[in-house]
Structure 1
Amino acid sequence: MNLLFRIRAGVLLLAALLAGCATSQAPSNSVANAQLTPATKITRDLLRLPEPKGKVVAAVYAFRDQTGQYKPSPDSSFSTAVTQGAASLLVKALKDSGWFTPVERENLQDLLTERKIVRALETPQDKNAQANINLPPLMPATVLIEGGIVAYESNVRTGGAGARYLGVGGKTQYRVDQVTVNLRSIDIRTGQILNSVSTTKTIYSYELSTGVFRFVNFKELLEMEAGYTRNEPSQLCVREAMEAAVVHLVVQGLKDKVWALKNQADKNSPILQAYLKESNEYLSQVENDTHASKTASEPPATVEPNPIATTRE
């Protein structure tokens, strides 16, 4: 009888420990107040960029989802895998950088309608009276920002581990998705593409679960389960990739002398140097890979026989 009691007590203690490990991170408060969207490391870099010599007036007409990806079943067969409001995220990233002055173009018709209403209200009823309408002209853009979400790859990497002994055990699983964003700046006077940047962000999800399924007696079954799952929000990952693209766009523009710094000493800024180093390492890796593939594709050299060398018996 004591042995049976000890077995029950040991199983219950082990189950409690497994459940405690699985629920070590309490779920977020469901009644928490709304707050500003959490900042990422790229957001902080974006806000700490050095001042430009002059802000660039930029127009964003659309930033479309070009992936065509939908959420996997059974979650949804009609909901898209990535956000459809990427243009709004891009406008915010451009403004937060301090290098661009975004102008409204996505809902330009709404703006024009409101301006017509203002003119109609300020026009005097008396036809002989002089109208006094002081609406300033719309600000023209000098640069057009285009691009889109060009790729969303699911299950780029998956894996996990688990163990179970006598009905007691646990397992963990993870999944890695990937989203790619392309951003380019265009000179509206000539249509020339000034710079083009592609950035990639991984979306990490993991699950930890434990359970007990064991007969502690002939007719007594103990069953207990606990688990924890965490998924990176895809819209925040799209935002981070977009912010990284804006920073790289600024750095490439400085490198190509498309725009300039207010203080030339800021070219040694740690943020600019870090992103410039990343860009140089990327170009160096591409050149090395290209050289390696070209060398591998070349046919091996053949040794031609010497016609002068003859053998005599």
Structure 2
Amino acid sequence: MNQRIKYGSALLLALAVASPVALAQDGGKPVIAVAEFKNETSAGWWGASVGSDLAGMLSNEMSNTGSFRMVERSKIQNVLEEQNLMASGRAKASNAAQMGKLAGAQYLVMGTVTSYEENTKSTGGGLSFGGISVGGKSESAYIAIDIRVVDTTTGEISYSRTIEGTSKGSGMSVGVYRGGWGGSLASQQNTPAGKAIRAAVVMVSDYLDCVMVRQDGCEAKFNAQEQRRREKTSGALKLD
């Protein structure tokens, strides 16, 4: 057994002993870890650190709700590096549960960017060419994120949902992101992509707060949004 394997085994054992899920529960708040986001699109703004940046943004947003206890990103990153369970973006729920449990979390949130579209066009005599616009312009962006929440005790997916964020013109469709911008995403803060990302992050946080903590009837709003999303998606397919 080489030194790296010995070190990895010792680290995982230490995390499991020092941070058992049973001891991580505090005041009834769910203890959550957020894994690095994955990307299945050709979005030009996606860079090497964006997956980690998005995980950090969602962690901050969820922490700001006051409804969750968030596992430190450094702890989940240590487990990720040693276990390498999420490298392909297709980890089994049981493996993801193991990773979350070792990090001392009751639940592990996994996000995948599955769709991104951006449109810039001229309005009122303005011109748009090669991504550079002069004069009046209308900008919009759309992002869809698939969210899975894995119970680290059972290894089952407790919650799953596709969350959409859109920006139109100078505004965005939902929420106001309350965290800061950093890393590879810092340059996108005031772009259509940035506005759509903020909208999606807020919506993911609000959704998890609703279904995991509040459970006060707010689910109806999200169920209605999901129904509209499914109808819009299926309506785009024309069958002979």
Q: TM-score, normalised by structure 1?
A: 0.42
Query: Deviation at 1:55?
Result: 0.6
SS of 1:150's equivalent in the other structure is strand
Match of 2:63 in 1: 95
The answer to whether the aligner puts 1:55 opposite 2:14 as a matched pair is: no
Work out which of the two has the higher radius of gyration on C-alpha atoms and give 1 or 2. 1
Give 2:121's aligned amino acid.
Answer: T
Q: TM-score, normalised by structure 2?
A: 0.53
Query: Deviation at 1:86?
Result: 0.7
| CA separation of 1:287 and 1:139: change in aligned 2, threshold 3 A | closer
The answer to whether the aligner puts 1:282 opposite 2:218 as a matched pair is: no
RMSD of the alignment, in Å?
A: 4.2
Contact kept in structure 1, 2:141 and 2:193, CA below 8 Å: no
| Number of residue pairs matched by the alignment | 166
* Structure 2 residue ranges without an equivalent (≥5): 1-25, 83-101, 127-133, 171-189
- Give 2:197's match in structure 1, choosing from 228, 238, 248: 238
Which whole-Å CA distance do the structure 2 matches of 1:252 and 1:86 have between them?
Answer: 21
Query: Deviation at 1:239?
Result: 3.1
SS of 2:139's equivalent in the other structure is strand
| CA separation of 1:153 and 1:99: change in aligned 2, threshold 3 A | same
- Give 1:153's match in structure 2, choosing from 113, 117, 133: 117
Match of 2:42 in 1: 68
Contact kept in structure 2, 1:59 and 1:145, CA below 8 Å: yes
* Structure 1 residue ranges without an equivalent (≥5): 1-51, 72-78, 113-137, 164-169, 207-230, 254-258, 262-266, 268-272, 298-313
Residue-by-residue CA offset, 1:138-183 (whole Å, 9 max, x unaligned): 872111111122221122x7341229xxxxxx95221212122222
Which whole-Å CA distance do the structure 2 matches of 1:103 and 1:179 have between them?
Answer: 26
| CA separation of 1:97 and 1:173: change in aligned 2, threshold 3 A | same
Structure in which a larger fraction of residues adopt helix: 2
Query: Deviation at 1:290?
Result: 10
Which whole-Å CA distance do the structure 2 matches of 1:280 and 1:260 have between them?
Answer: 15
The answer to whether the aligner puts 1:143 opposite 2:110 as a matched pair is: no
Q: What is the aligned-residue identity percentage?
A: 22
